[in-house]
Amino acid sequence: MQTGTQTFRIGPIEISLPVVLAPLAGYSDLAYRRLCRRMGCPYSTTEMILDRCVSIRGRQHIALTATADDDHPTAGQIVGNEPETMAVGARRICEKGFDVIDLNFACPVNKALRRRRGGYLMGEPARVVEIVRAVVEVGKELGRPVTLKVRQRNKTTDGEENFWRIAQGAREAGAAAVTVHARSVEQKYSGPADWDFLRRVKEQFPGWVVIGSGDVLTPESALAMVRQTGVDAAAVARGALGNPWFFHQVRDLQAGRSPQPPSLAEQRDVMYEHFAGAVELYGPQKAPAIMRKWGIRYARMHPQPKQVRMAFVAVKTPEDWHDVLKRYYPRCD
């Protein structure tokens, strides 16, 4: 079993820590990825983007596909259900400057399932493999590794055959890595993730890069997943919402230091920077609404979480945001 100190590779890309930032719709945008990177995150993924929408012009789509010099390596994740449209989406993802093309076959939200995308395709292994094959061709042409995100099963009562057919087929088609969310599509995000399943996947594919997802809620649990299951890396999702320090804390643990929570002054500096990143991405009109949900997450770390949460909920302008920071996050604490 691994120790949690190893590096791993996705194609030619060497990744310095076996803990990465998972894709998070509504959260893992450029502003947050940059913060996480500065705190030691070695690799991240955009939220899922519909294959046909990668190149749509319009502020929201431009923000979804934004990347920058200090945002590498990052995968651009696309979702769709036709090999042809996914191949076109993959090409656009490469043109945007992402380092890896990631394919989503895991999303459990009803809208995606109704449109036969994301987790719906866990029930159609042959189609998934066809899509992977088509996108790997694009990846080869443009020099980008292709990865995929899947779930353990479609329905909780299903067997695992579809998973193994997808995994085997994607591996043979040339996918460089697979991220496995160890829950069924039906479970969405509830119930415990089946880490023993991750152990079995890695045992079955010892030469393939496997990234585990599910219940990585603390820095300790990230390293425990790697140690207990043998996966190459653990993806942190809900555990990193409002906690970009997660990656710093994992590196502390690796170095034998006990992870320190950030001081109020450190929290303020990060929230200040996060807001500036949101303004850059979405503009000053939209940034306050985007940042309210982040304020709610950040407030959980504050000694007066309820008051601070309410103050963030009331934010309507950039001035409001900065007033909350001044009021509750003193420079010296």
DSSP per-residue codes, 196-256? HHHHHHHHH-TTSEEEEES---SHHHHHHHHHHH--SEEEESGGGTT-TTHHHHHHHHHTT
Query: From the CB of 333, what's the least distance to ligand FMN, in Å?
Result: 30
Task: Select 160 or 189, whichever has its Cβ closest to ligand FMN.
Answer: 189
Close Cβ partners of 45 (under 8 Å, ≥ 6 residues apart): 20, 21, 22, 23, 28, 74, 75, 76, 77, 100, 102
Cis peptide before 288 (omega within 30 of 0): no
For residue 56, give the DSSP letter: -
Task: Select 148 or 315, whichever has its Cβ closest to ligand FMN.
Answer: 148
Query: From the CB of 246, what's the least distance to ligand FMN, in Å?
Result: 11
Task: Select 213 or 267, whichever has its Cβ closest to ligand FMN.
Answer: 213
Alpha-carbon span 45 to 28, nearest angstrom = 7
Query: From the CB of 223, what's the least distance to ligand FMN, in Å?
Result: 14
Query: From the CB of 20, what's the least distance to ligand FMN, in Å?
Result: 10
Query: From the CB of 221, what's the least distance to ligand FMN, in Å?
Result: 8
Alpha-carbon span 178 to 75, nearest angstrom = 13
Task: Select 219 or 325, whichever has its Cβ closest to ligand FMN.
Answer: 219
Close Cβ partners of 206 (under 8 Å, ≥ 6 residues apart): none
Query: From the CB of 269, what's the least distance to ligand FMN, in Å?
Result: 25
Alpha-carbon span 278 to 182, nearest angstrom = 32
Task: Select 83 or 239, whichever has its Cβ closest to ligand FMN.
Answer: 239
CB atoms within 10 A of CB 61: 15
Task: Select 150 or 325, whichever has its Cβ closest to ligand FMN.
Answer: 150
Question: Which residues lie near ligand FMN (CB under 6 A)?
Answer: 22-26, 47-48, 77, 104, 106-107, 149, 181, 189, 193, 213-217, 237-239
